[in-house]
Amino acid sequence: MPDCLFCKIAAGEIPSKKVYSDEKVYAFHDIAPKAPTHVLIIPRKHIGKLADAREGDAAGIGEVVTRAAAIARELGLEHYRLVANNGEGAGQSVFHLHFHLLGGRPLAWPPG
């Protein structure tokens, strides 16, 4: 998607603090972290929000989730939260499916 912020970040058009990159997944540190560790993990394929995902997207989203677990291990996180906000009312501000990996401190429940 030509004007998508996260597509531009994954393409290297906008700088980011990269955590991981391959042909299907890109992960980078959030610029406004909500925890000591706050990494965004995105599929390179543009999907606006989780509700827009279709059956053909299952493998790609699975790659994002398993990569999130690997990143958590690499960062030494034993306890963490993986969150996907779906839509503006849930707090989504960039409409490219992304997961927040949050850790490094106790995380309260409910979150908001």
Q: Mind telling me the catalytic residues?
A: 98
Rounding to the nearest 10 degrees, give the CA dihedral for residues 85, 91, 96, 97: 0
List, in order, residues 6 or more apart from 112 with CB less than 8 Å away: 91
List, in order, residues 6 or more apart from 73 with CB less than 8 Å away: none
State residue 80 phi and psi, 5-degree precision: -160, 170
